[in-house]
Structure 1
Amino acid sequence: MRPQPVLLARRRCTRQITTSAHAKAVTVGLRREDPGRIWERRCPLTPDAVHELVRDGVNVLVQDCSRRVYRSDEFVKAGASLHPTLSPAHIILGIKETPLDELLTSPVHSTTTTSTSESAARTHLMFSHTIKGQAYNMPLLARFLNEGDAQGGGSDPLPRLIDWELLTDESGKRTVGFGWFAGVAGVLESLSTLAHVHLEHGVASPFLYIPRPTLHPSLPSIRASLKRVGDMIKEGGTPRSVGPIVIGVTGSGKVAQGMLDILEDLPVQRVQVKELERLVRDPEADLHKVYLVHALPQDYFVRVDGQAYEREDYYKNPHLYVSQFHTKIHPYLTLLLHGAGWAQGYPRVLTNAGLAEALTIAQTLPGGDKARGCVVGDVSCDVEGGLEFLPRHSTLSAPFFSTRPPGHPEGLPGMTVMAVDILPSSLPLDASQHFSKGILPYLQTLIKGYRGEGSRDEGIERALERATVTRGGKLQGGNRWLEEPLSAWRASLSATTSCSMPSSTSASTSTSEKAVGAGGRKKRVLLLGSGMVAGPVVERLGSRADVEVVVASNAVEEARRLAERFGSGRAKAVHLDVGDLERVGELVAQADVVISLLPVPFHPTIAQQCIKHRKHMVTASYISPQMKELHSSALASDTLILNEIGLDPGIDHCSAFSLLKSIRDEGKRVRSFVSFCGGLPAPECAEDVPLGYKFSWSPLGVLRAARADARFRLDGKDYKIAEPDLLRHHFTDVPVSNVLRLEGIANRDSMPYAETYGLGSPGELRSVLRGTLRYPGFCALMQGFKEIGLLEFELKVRLDDWSSLAQRAFEGKYKDGVKGDRASLMSALSSVVSAGSEGRLAEALGWLGAIPSAVFNDMPPVPKGEMAPIELFAGLLAHKLAYKPGERDMVVLHHEIVASPASPSLSKTEEIYTSTLMAYGTPVHSAMAMTVGLPVALAALRVLDGRVGMRGVRGPEEEGLWRGVLGGMEEAGLGMRERVRGGGMGVGVEGVLGEGLRRTMGV
């Protein structure tokens, strides 16, 4: 149980008023945090602090919140009252910024005990995230001002905004904050991550028992648990196979101090940088200790001319310094705890190239095969900053992840990174107590000011003045410079009002009016991402003279080449770290429409920024549960978040909607819906290669798809195929072409698409099926790979060379040793694979080099360390089955819908409606890039021109949108070919599929 505040026992509703009889009544409001921040449990005041305020005659109101670390009834016992809006409050406190729809800017009508009434401006205190000119929060700042989007500007006084981050002493040192707690929580989460990584390498360490902060009620409880781990290390030591445990700490601020303080609960021995190599190589090193090196800038930064580090010179000439961290420190670390800050223009502590060199050294050291150098806790959370290989933040729900930096050598292990950016929130009780104690003197001074009392602390008064961002509708002191970003934001808002947020009735706007933005400026599309499908997007957008394209990517050189090659002089590239929400917000605010081609996990974050800035967004990805949750807020801000407008999903939706409308317009009733789609090598590129398949990206997703369940309805029967049988029970013939022979695999759960397409209840349909296309033999060979263990996730194996891959996978899965010669190995493999597939399996394994073979050509480096067979196999396939120069890919999409007259008396008269697309790659764009990128661009242009009326989180179900996309695809030579013919049950794709499935299932 969490310790209860000692004052609670004597708190009741009776208040002890100590102020004068004529003092003004002052009300303080304690705000709930943004409901969207699920882990934000901190509170700026404790119940003890509330009790102290109430005792001094202050009215305290609290918004009810079930997530807060303190229960609402604790505040009530302390003398506070619950209030849903805090509208009577003079002073409103929160941790993070207030959501705009909850911000109170109207004045408070105060009443003294002599019944004199007057208006008083409120005071808001928060970490507002406005003081650096963050574009994404300019709407919040504007609400405190007389101009722009402010609510007010008349005679009523606007509120005062005080930012916690600006509270400093006379020397400029911050007086309130959470840095120390970030350091403490970062150590705990990182040690827990280290234990997980060691366990993956077959080693159990005492760090398995490290207390995760979110699982403990308070810091004393955590420290008691941590000390028990320390006692285990003192008594039993750490595993010898990982070598001496060496923890490195960087930084010298509050974060680093928190790290160093909490580590003292372990049996720590401090060492110097110069001692690291000798320590790690010493076979007699004492394993009953944890070795700690606190690496400071002078330990790893040197001038390029060889001179030693000098702090003043470093900050004056950072470009003259380079890091030696990768050779002097990192190879010897079991865990790096990074707490040093970083800014553009300064050298990184560890670059991607430096990391590769460091891991190469680490592989030669004791514990090198057990992830030495491969685990990092980045508490600074600068994405692609001081540690260049940090690609993103993590969350308290999933605190660590694996990553391989761009260009990371195949033979080296990847990194496991803890990079939670809200670490203090995992210690909500202790962090809140610390913060409450720090801010209480400032709050009491503000209260005295509202009362008109004298004898206030002048030092605190000056600090509050320095921390005031706005007052009376005007920017204050050193924050007046914020007028510049505010003006830029207002200008962009004014300029885009007529074109970026059109109503559904604006489709009749003239061509000339739609062609330019307000004031004659070009419309701006922000394209996030520069990967494989971005080329056609830039090319199509760049064909419009009235459109400017901004390609934002962390691979800025790739983005620049993309803009120069396809942008027609109307595109430019900018560097963007997606984890930098301030920069993301700036770019979103300057755009008219945002296109996200980023990985799926980033879409909700980008969508939130678009909703905040009222900018429409377009993406090709499926609507995830996280995106669905944003629907209401998108509607409220009159914003469209358009998803599922690529190939699959995308063109498949558009063509299905089109075909279904034609059928319904004829008064027909849908009996069956079957759809297949596949990205394949062109036939001439699929010959003589295993699987008849080529990869232009990592094949891990393809391999994982072979381990999925499937659910669908076919010929009036519901099927649920479990993962072990998915490949066995494939469709041996999918007759979508008279030329190509193709087979198919059921694609996960097809049943919800009956609702998506308005087909009615699945039980009333004969078939509802979506599938993936492959060349014949793919499923049987993939099943063989699966049966011998190559698709295993759970076990770990180590390769002598690539020819031992099949042997190690088999031995790991079946716990049975086998001789390594080809004859013995194939005999063992043949004993577990499906009858009749042994010959083709042996041929494919030999071609890939996964078994002993006479010829091994073009093999990638052999990975060091242990990995899952599926990871090793994916790496081998990515190398051996990559597209070569001059080769082309192919996309096939085919719908078949069976319909009949709605009248029951005519129900036996059926027709088969088909819609088919076959597209081939060109020397400029792959077929996949064209069929994903072009629909995205076409949809974005329609949104940009005000020709889409939908709002909220949506797919391409609006008729004008899907018709426009299909028309644009037709103009580009990528149109769907529709046909109608007579038929019935057992005819067409539906009948062939049913017959083939029954055959593979043996029924």
Structure 2
Amino acid sequence: MPLLHRAPFTVSRLAQGHRLYSSKNAQVTIGIRREDPGRVWERRAPLTPDTVAELIARDDVRVLVQECDRRVFPVDEYLKAGAEAHPTLEPAHLVLGIKEPPLPTLDTSPVQSPSVPNTLVPRTHMMFSHTIKGQEYNMPLLSRFLKGDASASPELVGGQPGLEARLIDYELLTDAEGKRTVAFGWHAGVAGTLEALAAMAHNQLERGVASSFLYTPRPHSSPSLDSHRAQLQYIGSQIAEHGTPKSLGPFVFGVTGNGNVTQGILAILAELPIVKVAPESLPALVSNPDTDLHKIYVVHALPESYISHKEGKAYDRAQYYADPQAHQSDFHSKIAPYLTLLLNGAGWKPGFPRLLRTADLALAPRLAAVGDISCDIDGALEFVTAPTTLDSPSYNVNGVAVVAVDILPASLPRDASDAFSGKVVRYVRELVRGYSGGKEEGDTGEALSRASVARGGGVREGLEWLNEKVQAWRVGDSPVAGGGEGSAGSRKRRVLVLGSGMVAGSAVDELAARGDCEVIVASNSLPEAEHLVAAHSRASALLLDMSDQARVAELIGQVDVVISLLPAPFHPTVAEHCIQHRKHMVTASYISPAMKALHRKAQASDVLLLNEIGLDPGIDHCSAHALLSRLCAEGKDVVSFTSFCGGLPAPDAADVPLGYKFSWSPRGVLRAASEGASFRLGGENHQIPGDSILKHHFPEVPLSNILKLEGLANRDSLPYVDTYALNKSSLRTMLRGTLRYPGFAALMHSFKAIGLLEDQRNIKLDSWTSFARLALQQRLGTPVPSDSASLRSALASVVADSQLDTLIDALAWLALVPPHLSASSGPSPASLPIPSLPLPPADLLALHLAHTLRYQSHERDLVLLHHEIVARTPQRTEEVHTSTLTVYGDAHASAMARTVGLPVAFAALRVLDGDVRARGVCGPTVEESVWGGVLDGLERKGLGVKEGVLRGAGMEGVLAEGLRRTVA
């Protein structure tokens, strides 16, 4: 092959003390690439200056380095080691980086052979390429290494086979047993532990208690791991001398997992005065007032200590992995209640039991922080719904600081680079040998072959399926491969789904059922995303770090419509990218002030930012608008609007106190029991103060001939007069409420009357069966004996006679009073630990209800939405119109997931089809194509909203009469 005739590239930097560099030297040349400028926290390097010096001296190589002011090793250290500064690395045979480079900087052209004169050889790139799982956003990068790429260098056009560059992915470098040999997991464990310790200390400080862990350094704030170790040793000395705060009890750190991440966790914790304890010793350790507070207690919880078979069989690892759904996690009852800090280093896959659910946090009152170092979004820890960043490493969930940084090793750049460089150098040497005329052989050579994603213009054996991914990208996005502007009609339409949480499954299933669009699910939890797309040939999953804004922008630029199912704070940022790239966006969340501020900007870019497409808000607005629009078209005047919505257990799961079940912390429901409400009913405005909301409820909400229901007024209903453009002068009722089964309000009011909802003063439990008595004793300000007659008499002093037996039976079922008080009984609370610290009764009740009234795996939920509209005809007669949605959960999805996820998909498809003309920040009632499309889609799925006309009076009078009775 003839040598390309190019002018040799030489630049002198002697004035700056730098070496000359040139492409003339016949040496194997290694290039150290500058990382993507958009990755502001990426400071790691694949080779350290010490490794570079060793390679130059021992292997007679030439090393080029691109200058970068962010890199943890200044360029001068590389120059002292014998490297040369070079702006493009064009002469390099082997180019190393950490993450993938921006495409414009990727040089895949061949390079002059160092061993055979006048001969070109393929260039080699080593990186974490993020291509090996078919990540959609990086198919343009992989395409550059394959035959037929339109952006290949000119010398390859016309065909010189085998000169396409080689791509080696560090993630594929393994030993003969398949274990990864080049990774950053250990350093992730160290960095995540430091972040979590700092978050724990700050959370405890906000609770009014300071500990020595306030001195924990953030991992990026010190130059080396040695300095972190020294600081932890100092903290340990303070604990050994002064102990941890007595008010917090013993500090117990829980650690999960058994891989490199966990080894990093345990290694850094070893700098503290730790005592390792077994899970079964935790209750005695925490409850013993004589426990030594001059130690830190670490429990390394392996699956056999908290995973159990649902049929009571002994834990068997092989059986667990073969049939995970037959098992359950008891971490919430056996370990979590005793922890001060949880450090999760265990992996998780869909289908396996979660380690902890959000509701379980209520069972762990000692827990101050969770470090999810594995960072599985919507994974083993249900409450980890979004990644955090090094700028803002934690967020609060039910009073617990949650750390979920997904680029943790980057915060220890020097130490992580040292370790990485020491592992990768043997592979570099083998590649150098190959370029020098030898052959890659032995275990190292075989490992390089396995790690070569692409070589010689094709993907390696076993990865052939990636060709289809690349070709799909080429057809859809490559201007040359697709024929330029003239072939726009052949371009596939793409929908990007950001997030893979609870409601995403229903949305993805609906989108992927369309044969003319491609669905891309981007998530920080790749296993979760892959699970969502597994059954769909036109759907793909990719790993996406939302803190990587350059990547987010690039991905949004490749699609037509973006669906954001991320936590609400992410929506404005996603919307900004959509505006910049002129892409439409759909989300189920409320229109926030930050989103509303983008209205004119979106209009100017001809972009639709469509919000509030879920259940509430969403279907409620769509169904109400449909009925109101029809009545208006018929010339009828609305004089009454009543709407109730509720998420309830299905009747077969509701035979429990309160007739209610919790899939999240009950604290919000208990808090709502003290929130006031405003509404108009029967021509009269009502304002119910928070302390009366349970008593002044609606005993009967007659919206079903089968289910008996009651209702609570839902905050302020009056602003919805304007939302639905109703005539204020003729409107006698505007009421929005929440549905519950009968008895909820009365029983909750009784709970409130005996002091169970008190949230200011603390009580100290000695047993759960004493809870009601101690709360009542605090409420009355006088001792209450525990014998049946005295306790019943005390309860009767604050609870109406008509409610007394119901209250006592409920308390007995919940095991909150001694068993001799009533024959009623429910599930044993034996597995629910007693909090070691005094807590307000409301917190104790939330803790208890989260345990005793949670959904079981076989139980269904129910969504009910009902509007009742009274319209006056031109003839001055009144008609009662209804609109009702009833949805039950099933084995595939909960009712709540379906009623939120499906509307999002229906709306997105309407936007994709060009049926929505509105632009700017809008809600579902912006035009009929949106709200009509949602309702039509629900109808097709058998979830249609049913409209009807009642004969006789509607519920307005029943509600008014019921309210009068409760007020009286």
Which residue is 1:844 aligned to?
807
Question: Which of the residues 181, 190, 194 maps onto 1:188?
Answer: 194
Structure 2 vs 1, CA of residues 638 and 690 (structure 1 numbering), >3 Å: closer, same or farther? Answer: same
Tell me what 1:804 maps to: 770
**Alpha-carbon spacing, 1:783–1:792, altered in 2? closer, same or farther (3 Å):** same
Letter of the 2:408 counterpart = L
In structure 2, the residue corresponding to 1:790 is in which secondary structure? coil
TM-score, normalization: structure 2?
A: 0.58
Matched, 1:223 2:223: no
Q: Assess if the C-alpha contact under 8 Å between 1:630 and 1:953 holds in 2.
A: no
Please list every run of 5 or more consecutive structure 1 residues that lacks an aligned counterpart in the other structure. Answer: 1-11, 111-118, 301-313, 360-367, 404-414, 498-508, 510-516, 551-575, 902-908, 982-986
Matched to 1:591, the amino acid is H
- The correspondence of residues 313-328 of structure 1 with structure 2, limited to 5 A, is none
Matches within 5 A, 1:383-394: none
For 1:128 and 1:401, how far apart are their aligned partners in 2? 33
Of the three residues 932, 935, 941, the one matched with 1:966 is 935
The answer as to 2:620 corresponding to 1:647 is: no
Indicate if the aligned counterparts of 2:131 and 2:138 stay in contact, CA closer than 8 A.
yes
Query: Who is 1:820 aligned against?
Result: 786
Name the counterpart of 2:184: 178
1:631 paired residue number:
575
Q: The residue matched to 1:703 in structure 2 has which SS?
A: helix
**Matches of 1:899 and 1:690, distance apart in 2:** 42
For residue 898 of structure 2, what is the aligned residue in structure 1? 933
731-740 vs 839-848, which deviates more? 731-740
Q: Which amino acid aligns with 2:231?
A: S
Q: For residues 884 and 272 of structure 1, what CA distance do their matches in structure 2 show?
A: 29
Shift in Å, 1:963 = 1.8
Alignment of structure 1 residues 280-291 onto 2, 5 Å: none
Alignment of 1:92-111 (within 5 A): 95-98=98-101, 104-105=105-106
Question: Offset of 1:652 from its aligned partner?
Answer: 0.8
Q: Encode CA deviations 1:746-770: one digit per residue, 9 max, x unaligned.
A: 248986x799x6869999x999975
In structure 1, the residue matched to 2:408 is: 423
Going from structure 1 to structure 2, the CA distance change for 1:947 and 1:277 (only over 3 Å counts) comes to closer
Q: Quick one: structure 1 residues 200 and 682, their matched pair in 2 at CA, closer, same or farther if it must change by over 3 Å?
A: same
For residue 588 of structure 1, the aligned residue among 489, 511, 533 is 533
Relative to structure 1, the CA distance from residue 34 to residue 885 in structure 2 (aligned partners, 3 Å threshold; closer, same or farther) is closer
- Is the CA contact 1:136–1:582 (under 8 Å) kept in the aligned structure 2? no
Distance 1:245 1:956, change over 3 A: closer
Output the CA distance in 1 between the equivalents of 2:404 and 2:710: 45
- Aligned mates of 2:784, 2:14 — CA distance in 1: 78
- Structure 1: distance between partners of 2:554 and 2:533: 7
8 Å contact from structure 2 (residues 772, 817) kept in 1: yes
Offset of 1:582 from its aligned partner?
5.3
Q: Which amino acid aligns with 1:806?
A: A
Question: Where does 1:115-126 land on structure 2 (aligned, <5 Å)?
Answer: 126=127
For residues 561-587 of structure 1, give each alpha carbon's deviation from its aligned partner in whole angstroms, at most 9, with x where no partner exists: xxxxxxxxxxxxxxx999751572485
- 1:31 match: 35
Contact 2:31 2:64 in 1 (8 A): yes
Give the conservation status (yes or no) of the 8 Å contact 1:161–1:469: yes
Residue by residue over 1:491-547, the C-alpha shift from the partner in whole angstroms, topping out at 9 and shown as x without a partner, is 7779999xxxxxxxxxxx9xxxxxxx99xxxx9x9997899x999999x999x9999
Paired with 1:973 and 1:748, the residues of 2 have a C-alpha distance of: 29
| Equivalent position of 1:44 in the other structure | 45
1:628-679 CA deviation, whole Å, 9 max, x = no partner? Answer: 4333556749676553555333321212342455577689999998754235
Instruction: Tell me which moved more, 650-659 or 607-616.
Output: 607-616
Distance 1:858 1:277, change over 3 A: closer
Give the Cα–Cα distance (whole angstroms) in 2 for the partners of residues 337 and 886 of structure 1: 29
Q: 1:14 to 1:899 in 2, by over 3 A?
A: farther
Q: Counterparts of 1:994 and 1:147 in 2: how far apart (Å)?
A: 78
Do the aligned partners of 2:44 and 2:410 also contact (CA within 8 Å) in 1? no
Q: What secondary structure does 2:17 align onto?
A: coil
Q: 1:893 aligns with which of 851, 860, 866?
A: 866
Amino acid at match of 1:143: S
1:252-271 paired onto structure 2 within 5 Å:
255=261, 258-259=264-265, 261-267=267-273
- The whole-number CA distance in structure 1 between the counterparts of 2:38 and 2:678 is 41
Q: Secondary structure at the match of 2:99?
A: coil
- What secondary structure does 1:229 align onto? helix
Q: 2:466 aligns with which of 486, 493, 511?
A: 486
Aligned to 1:860: 827
Instruction: Report the equivalent of 2:10.
Output: none
Cα distance in 1 for partners of 2:276, 2:566 equals 51
- SS of aligned partner of 1:744: strand
1:933 alignment partner AA: R
Listed one character per residue, the Cα deviations across residues 817-871 of structure 1 (whole Å, up to 9, x for unaligned) are 643346655776788x7xx868636742443324457423232212222186446
Candidates 973, 977, 1001, aligned match of 2:947: 977
2: CA distance between counterparts of 1:774 and 1:830?
A: 26
Match of 2:128 in 1: 127
Per-residue deviation, 1:733: 8.8
Correspondent of 2:626 among 644, 653, 658: 658
Matched letter for residue 467 of structure 2: S
Q: Which digits, 9 at most, give the CA deviation of each residue in 1:175-218, with x for residues without a partner?
A: 86534422322443565688799999999875565445367676
Q: Which runs of 5+ in 2 are unaligned?
A: 1-12, 56-61, 112-119, 158-162, 307-316, 478-488, 589-611
Please give the secondary structure, in 2, of the residue aligned with 1:820. coil
Contact 1:654 1:965 in 2 (8 A): yes
Q: Which amino acid aligns with 1:588?
A: V
* CA-based RMSD: 8.2
- AA matched with 1:677: C
Closer, same or farther: CA 201–370 of 1 in aligned 2, 3 Å: farther
Whether 2:19 is the aligned partner of 1:15: answer no
Q: 1: distance between equivalents of 2:835 and 2:613?
A: 40
1:586-735 equivalences in 2 (<5 Å): 588=533, 591=536, 624-633=568-577, 636=581, 641=586, 643=588, 645-659=613-627, 661-662=629-630, 675-679=643-647, 693-695=659-661, 700=666, 703-704=669-670, 706=672, 727=693
Encode CA deviations 1:593-636: one digit per residue, 9 max, x unaligned: 8799xxxx9xx9x99999699597879x8972324433355674
The equivalences for 1:240-259 within 5 A come to: 251=258, 255=261, 258-259=264-265
CA distance in 2, matches of 1:171, 1:988: 70
Over 3 Å counting, the alpha-carbon distance change for 1:210 and 1:817 in structure 2 is farther
Shift of 1:160: 5.8
The verdict on how the C-alpha distance between 1:234 and 1:537 changes in structure 2, with shifts beyond 3 A counting, is closer
Q: CA deviation at 1:235?
A: 2.3
Determine the structure 2 residue equivalent to 1:558: none
Separation in structure 1 between the aligned mates of residue 854 and residue 274 of structure 2, nearest angstrom: 50
Q: CA deviation at 1:228?
A: 2.0
Query: 2: CA distance between counterparts of 1:96 and 1:334?
Result: 36
Measure how far apart 1:31 and its partner are. 3.4
- Identical amino acids, percent of aligned pairs: 31
Aligned pairs (5 A) from 1:277-676 = 395=388, 421-428=406-413, 431=416, 469=452, 474-475=457-458, 480-481=460-461, 483-490=463-470, 580-581=525-526, 584-585=529-530, 588=533, 591=536, 624-633=568-577, 636=581, 641=586, 643=588, 645-659=613-627, 661-662=629-630, 675-676=643-644
**Deviation (angstroms), 1:917:** 2.7
User: Cα–Cα, structure 1 residues 432 and 897, in superposed 2: closer, same or farther, change >3 Å?
Assistant: farther
1:773 Cα deviation from its structure 2 partner = 3.9
The number of aligned residues is 833
**What is the alpha-carbon distance in structure 1 between the residues aligned to residue 584 and residue 498 of structure 2?**
16
CA contact (8 A) 1:376 1:416 kept: yes
Distance 1:952 1:143 in 2: 36
TM-superposed CA distance for 1:244, in Å, is 10
- Check whether the contact 1:250–1:256 (CA below 8 A) recurs between aligned residues: yes
Question: Is residue 728–residue 780 contact of structure 1 (8 Å, CA) maintained in 2?
Answer: yes
Q: Output the CA distance in 2 between the equivalents of 1:760 and 1:26.
A: 72
